[in-house]
Amino acid sequence: MKNRISILITCLVFSISLSAQKLPSPFKILPQPQSIVLLKGSGLESGKLESLILKGDFKRPVMGKILSQLTIGKTAGKATLTLILHTAFTSVPTEEGYVLTISGNKAEIISKGEAGLF
């Protein structure tokens, strides 16, 4: 009977740890996000971004070697990274917070402050 209880507890702990929202390897985001929602559908393949859209009153942020090669476009489409500065955005409590959405072969980052956009 003790073995069955031990096995049941082990299975319960294992299932709880699997249900915790964690990004699969090799994704590393620092600092760790407060929440993650994995959406169904196509995501974005590595190296497939082609253009950058800036929405809001801000200059292009300093970007790393790969993202700095993106050309600034006028309309969002596939293979586009869209940065949106929305000062009345209420989904994040601080100017450093952001919401990242990757879906349909494009990425969008929305923040209430420039610090959240990189």
List the domain boundaries for the chain. Answer: 23-117
Cβ–Cβ under 8 Å, residues 81 and 100: no
Q: How confident is the model at residue 34 (pLDDT cuts 50, 70, 90)?
A: confident
Helix (H) or strand (E) holding 101: strand 99-103
Q: How confident is the model at residue 29 (pLDDT cuts 50, 70, 90)?
A: low
101 or 15, which is more confident:
101
Task: Kindly state the percentage of the chain with pLDDT values over 70.
Answer: 72
- pLDDT recorded at residue 12: 44
CATH number of 23-117, picked from 3.20.20.70, 3.30.379.10, 3.50.50.60, 3.30.70.1400: 3.30.379.10
**Confidence check: pLDDT of 74 > 60:** yes
- pLDDT recorded at residue 65: 84
List the single range of 20-24, 98-102, 112-116 with lowest mean pLDDT: 20-24
Characterize 68-92 residue by residue with b for buried, 16 or more Cβ atoms within 10 angstroms of its Cβ, and e for exposed: eebeebeebeebbbbbbbeeebeeb
- pLDDT recorded at residue 42: 73
**Confidence check: pLDDT of 20 > 50:** no
**Confidence check: pLDDT of 38 > 70:** yes
Say how far apart CA 12 and CA 18 lie, in whole Å: 10
Compute the radius of gyration of the chain from its Cα atoms: 19
